[in-house]
Amino acid sequence: MRLEFTKMHGLGNDFLVLDLITQRARLDAAVIRRLADRNFGIGFDQLLVVEAPQQPEVDFRYRIFNADGSEVSQCGNGARCFARFVRDRRLTRKERLRVETASGIIELQIDGKGWVTVDMGKPRLTPAEVPFDAAETAVEYALEVAGRTLQVAAVSMGNPHAVLRVDSVATAPVAELGPLIESHPRFPARVNAGFMEVVNRREIRLRVFERGTGETLACGTGACAAVVAGIRWGLLDRRVTVHLPGGDLDISWPADDASVRMTGPTARVYDGVLRLGDFS
């Protein structure tokens, strides 16, 4: 089976994007892992799938799969690329989109230069919503990891994030602690692990070890979660520039009961055609 696809990225967080409105395919976890392989496949952090909506007054359904084949409910950089993709492929002419994800509806606004602003919805902060094993909601929690006690915030942006402060992202033990936090038993759905260096009240640096993928060059939901954690810690203003290894995102959380907004760029790398049989 021939499938047209587009390779895209948001600040180096890269995606294979498939239109499954005009095309048909069944992709299981093993096929996704083969496609994601950077040596034997196409290579990507996440697969993004565009489908017809299942609810009224929504433009599209947006599904996300990590490189390990697991389906997840949110991806911020992916949302921006999704918006650009449906416009470039002429699946819509709208500049404002309402898109259904596994964690609810998000709203996207596209400008003419490939920049997209996403209303990511409200952060979810109770342990049950993250999900995280704790008796009550707190601004941070003590987490035992490899004989150390880390202070982490637990935030859901539709997907789970643990955020910890580090003195410098350049020397942060991301490769060592990332996998241990990702699979920590107190995060029953696993977790994305963000390492945040506060530069000043309006700027942070951030590296994210992503659940199901490993460290990426940028994580949009990770940037939102880190800003929410930093605001709740009293360290950040309501609008922050997040410096990620792949570039910068503008994140704002105007009030505790407001949605988080993310603005950033998108890039199309190439269009291609794959034969699904080669990966089965």
Ligand X SMILES: N[C@@H](CCC[C@H](N)C(=O)O)C(=O)O
Q: Which residues bind ligand X (CB under 6 A)?
A: 13, 45-46, 66, 72, 75-78, 159, 192, 210-213, 216, 219-221
The annotation status of 39 as a binding-site residue, yes or no, is no
Query: Which residue(s) pair with 272 in the sheet?
Result: 5
- Closest contact distance (angstroms) between CB of 200 and ligand X is 24
- Three-state SS across 49-102? EEECCCCCCCCEEEEEEECCCCEECCCHHHHHHHHHHHHHCCCCCCCEEEEEEC
Given 108, 206, 219, 231, the catalytic residue: 219
Query: Is residue 76 marked as binding?
Result: yes
The reply to whether 221 sits in an annotated binding site is yes
User: Judged by CB, which is closer to ligand X: 19, or 210?
Assistant: 210
For residue 104, give the 3-state DSSP assignment. strand
Nearest one of 245, 176, 183, 169 to 212, comparing CA atoms: 183
Nearer to ligand X, 21 or 102 (CB): 102
Taking the complex as a whole, the smallest distance from the CB of residue 12 to ligand X amounts, in Å, to 10
Q: Is the dihedral of CA 178, 180, 183, 188 positive or negative?
A: negative
Q: Which is nearest to 103 in space by CA: 70, 132, 130, 84? A: 130
The nearer residue to ligand X, 45 or 59, going by C-beta atoms, is 45
Active site residue 219: yes
Residue 95 annotated as lining a ligand binding site: no
Phi and psi, residue 24, nearest 5°: -125, 140
Strand-pair partners of 204: 198, 242
SS3 108: strand
Distances (CA, A) of 30 to 27, 34, 47, 190, 251: 8, 6, 13, 20, 35
CB of 213 to ligand X, least distance (A): 5
Instruction: Report the Cα 52 to chain-centroid distance in Å.
Output: 21
Residue 84 vs 211, nearer CB to ligand X: 211
Least distance in angstroms from the C-beta of 162 to ligand X: 11
Catalytic residue among 75, 208, 240, 249: 75
Between 42 and 201, name the residue whose CB sits nearer to ligand X: 42
Closest contact distance (angstroms) between CB of 2 and ligand X is 27
77 is in an annotated binding site: yes
Whether 224 sits among the annotated catalytic residues: the reply is: no
24 is in an annotated binding site: no
Cβ atoms of 45 and 218 closer than 8 Å:
no
Which residues are known to be catalytic?
75, 219
Q: Which residue positions form the known binding site? A: 13, 46, 66, 76-77, 159, 192, 210-211, 220-221
Could you list the residues known to form a binding site for substrate, using ranges.
13, 46, 66, 76-77, 159, 192, 210-211, 220-221
